[in-house]
């Protein structure tokens, strides 16, 4: 079983589908070559949050999201047996869409793909850290209203330095009470203290990124003993500047520290990668053998949401 536990919906939609939807909605990405040019510019400036926001603006209705979800599900099923995709209801709301309708449209579009291919397509509810705990509570309110079985997890991305993790303790406690697997982006841009705070204050089931934990050997050893899984996305880290290059990525140090590591594509359309591509490239660049790659694949399988 190959699973990816860290994908973001709008950044994973196949490029041709994204640009078709953008063209229909009069968005700039609908012009020939516009999306590719924006992606190149963002690689030069590491302005991926802006690029991601522009991808979100290409969508104008639940039908757009249904079309994208169907194509995304088919693409993921070609290489994975289990995929967990973050969706961001507060972003939809801020762009004038009804979050419940969008969520239902994605769910309906995934169902036939899942039935036909056998690839489990799981939704993770995402909140944006800099928008605060109240926005995060609204995301969980939506889950309580909809109770879609496909929703199996809750996580937080955004600016790691904007608000302390402790402000979200109640949110994460509530998510666990609702039976959701919890994850948090940490240690991508901020230092190892952000990983320690996230782990201690929020008690997540997984850490997304977390690469800077290697800067604190004692912390890395503690989290290795705890078996806390880290979903690491090397191509993403290089593209955003969190790591200087693939060869200088701290993946080997993370593995040497005994941490539970799996690989993820994060935003594969933005970073021009795939989940299996991440494993292949890691093996080639760092000389990892089949046993080491299989061990990371096993971490993803054991850490997946909705195992029951």
Continuous H helices in 152-230: 169-177, 192-197, 217-226
Beta bridge partners of 41: none
The 3-state DSSP class for residue 289 equals coil
Query: Do residues 119 and 73 touch, judged by C-beta distance below 8 A?
Result: yes
E-strand spans in 158-297? 181-186, 206-209, 229-232, 260-263
Burial of 144 (0-12, 13-18, 19+ CB in 10 A): exposed
188 part of the active site: yes
C-alpha triplet 248, 183, 229: angle, nearest 5°: 55
Q: Which of 84, 90, 160, 188 is catalytic?
A: 188
Burial of 62 (0-12, 13-18, 19+ CB in 10 A): buried
* H or E segment and range at residue 291: helix 290-303
Beta bridge partners of 21: none
Query: 62-77 vs 15-24: helix axis angle to the nearest 10?
Result: 170
Q: For residue 32, is it left (φ>0), alpha (ψ between -120 and 50) or beta?
A: beta
The catalytic residues are 188
């Amino acid at each position: 079983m190959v699973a990816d536990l860290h994908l973001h919906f709008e950044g994973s939609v196949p490029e041709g589908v994204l640009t078709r939807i953008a063209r229909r909605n009069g968005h700039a990405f609908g012009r020939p070559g516009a999306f590719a040019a924006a992606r190149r510019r963002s690689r030069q400036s590491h302005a991926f949050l802006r690029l991601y926001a522009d991808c979100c603006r290409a969508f104008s209705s639940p039908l757009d999201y249904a079309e994208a979800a169907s194509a995304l599900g088919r693409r993921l099923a070609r290489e994975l047996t289990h995929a967990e995709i973050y969706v961001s209801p507060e972003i939809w709301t801020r762009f004038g869409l009804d979050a419940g309708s969008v969520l239902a449209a994605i769910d309906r579009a995934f169902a036939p793909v899942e039935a036909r291919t056998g690839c489990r397509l799981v939704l993770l509810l995402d909140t944006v850290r800099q928008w605060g705990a109240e926005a995060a509570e609204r995301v969980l309110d939506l889950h309580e209203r909809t109770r879609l079985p496909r929703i199996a997890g809750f996580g937080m991305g955004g600016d790691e330095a904007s608000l302390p993790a402790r402000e979200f303790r109640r949110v994460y406690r509530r998510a666990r009470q609702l039976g959701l697997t919890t994850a948090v982006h940490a240690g991508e841009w901020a230092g190892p203290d952000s990983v320690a705070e996230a782990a201690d204050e929020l008690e997540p089931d997984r850490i997304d990124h977390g690469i800077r934990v290697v800067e604190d050997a004692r912390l890395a050893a503690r989290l290795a003993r705890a078996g806390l899984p880290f979903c690491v996305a090397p191509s993403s880290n290089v593209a955003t500047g969190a790591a200087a290059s693939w060869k200088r990525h701290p993946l080997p140090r993370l593995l040497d520290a005994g941490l539970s590591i799996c690989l993820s594509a994060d935003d594969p359309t933005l970073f021009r990668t795939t989940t299996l591509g991440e494993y292949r490239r890691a093996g080639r660049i760092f000389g990892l053998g089949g046993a080491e790659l299989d061990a990371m694949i096993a971490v993803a399988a054991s850490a997946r949401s909705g195992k029951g």
